[in-house]
Chains A and B, each alone.
Chain A
Amino acid sequence: MIKKIIAFLLLLFSAGMMNAQLDKLRAAFVYTQAGNLDSARILIDAACKHPETMNDGQTWYVKAFIYKEIFKKSKPANRDLSIANEAFEAGKKSILLDTTGESKQNNLSIIKSEAAIVNNTFGETLDTINYKKSIECIDQQKLLVKYLKPKANIDSVGAYYYGIMGSYFQTAYEKNPKKNMKFLKIAEESYNKVLIAEPNNISANYNMGIIYYNQAVSLIMNKLDYDFDLATLNDIQDEAVVWFKKSLPYMEKAYQLNPRRKETLIGLSGIYYSLHDNDKSQQFQKLSQDLDKQ
């Protein structure tokens, strides 16, 4: 990338922009190479506002590069997505202003590189502390992909990341269900976003079913104590039935989408068993066993 930038700047410097503003652009680039991004940023921001350079695509190209470097240089948890977005906007503006089309590929390279950094930042911040940064990354990535691949289904891009997020928090919850209830909420919200974008996503439907099923199971197996009286037992059963019933349509949907998925058959058998519908429970258990024989 650096080699490309140098080649491009040599072209830029020989292409007629021979004035004080060019010196500033050159200095901004030198600062960037030296790792002095704060100084580079001051110079490029000034160039982007100066009448002599603000309408030159090359100025915005340098800005895109510098802002992408600023974004990349920070530790993942500290990365400011507004900086990434400024780099993206600068790259787009450079392409628009450059009527020769010479810088288009270079700008696209910067935007692709930014998309890779945003993708990595999503993974690097996907934990129980920094996950809000991950969510910001999803939003930014959707913008980048929409620009780079105009025909791509952007909702599916979001669904991909939210599916991973849901799975991460579902696992985090299950490590300590009593303590980590808020993680379950995040998992539920994540899967909901997947299902809004892709109602026929089997994994999201199945996992949503599992989340609600496990809520009911946890209520009975962990919360229900032998010392509870019969009135409380009745209340807990009522609550568990609500969760089991909430689980059922998601698991049924996963079954409709793929009737031969063993986990779903086991899941449906379990839900119907817990709802005391033994006929249906056994029906799905048999389907699951039949799959083993094939």
Chain B
Amino acid sequence: MKHLALIAAALVFLSAQRIDPKEDTNAKIKAVYLYNFSKYVEWPEDYKNGNFVVTVVGPSSSLLSELDKMAQKKVGSQPIAVKSVSSPSALEKSNIIFMPFESSALLTDVINKIKGQSTLIVTEKAGLTKLGAAINFIIKDNKQLFELSKSNAERYKLKISSNLYALAIKVE
């Protein structure tokens, strides 16, 4: 039996253990960021009841998988509900809207759709805070960091905590 184990070990050495593509570290980091944003941003009262809704616009299967894990937690007393829509027209009342890089071109449509609502728009393409996103993920030194436009957040009646502001790359 031991000999078989030795042969197996030799074969493993000569063959290869593959990287598991299901383990998307970038998606996990984004999900942890989004959950932190829920703790450091204050929404108006009518957004503090019922589900805390996080909506992803466009395809992002690995992020959705991570967000489903995040949805096992709560924001205060609110259960988290994760939704996915393929187009801005399908958007419903959300606390956070996340737009993956591939959906960046839809930002203007999203902004028009949620006019008058209190939604934190999070994007991940350079320059989108200038187009209305409150938070935009950027890459610096191989890490995911985030830009924050306080004025864009306030436009949606959102209060940013000083802790979040201190850790952000500030843009206006």
Contact = CB atoms under 8 A, between A and B. Distances in A.
Interface of A: 120, 122-124, 126, 163-168, 170-171, 174, 203-204, 206-207, 210, 213, 216-217, 220-221, 224, 226-231, 233-234, 237-238, 240-241, 244-245, 261, 263-264, 266-267, 270, 273-277
A123 B4 CA distance: 9
A172 B40 CA distance: 41
Which 5 residue pairs spanning A and B have beta carbons closest together? A123-B6, A167-B13, A263-B16, A270-B19, A276-B139
A226 B143 contact: no
B3 A263 contact: no
Interface in B39-57: 40
Nearest to B31: A226
Contact of A233 (B12, B20, B36): B36
A217 B23 contact: yes
A216 B28 CA distance: 13
A120 B142 CA distance: 47
B112 interface: no
B144 interface: yes
Interface residues of B, number: 38
B14 A203 contact: yes
A3 to B, nearest CB: 26
26 contacts: A123-B5, A163-B14, A164-B10, A165-B9, A166-B13, A203-B14, A206-B16, A207-B13, A210-B16, A210-B19, A220-B25, A224-B32, A226-B32, A226-B35, A226-B70, A226-B73, A227-B73, A230-B163, A233-B33, A241-B143, A264-B16, A267-B19, A270-B19, A276-B142, A276-B144, A277-B142
Contact of B32 (A165, A171, A206, A228): A228
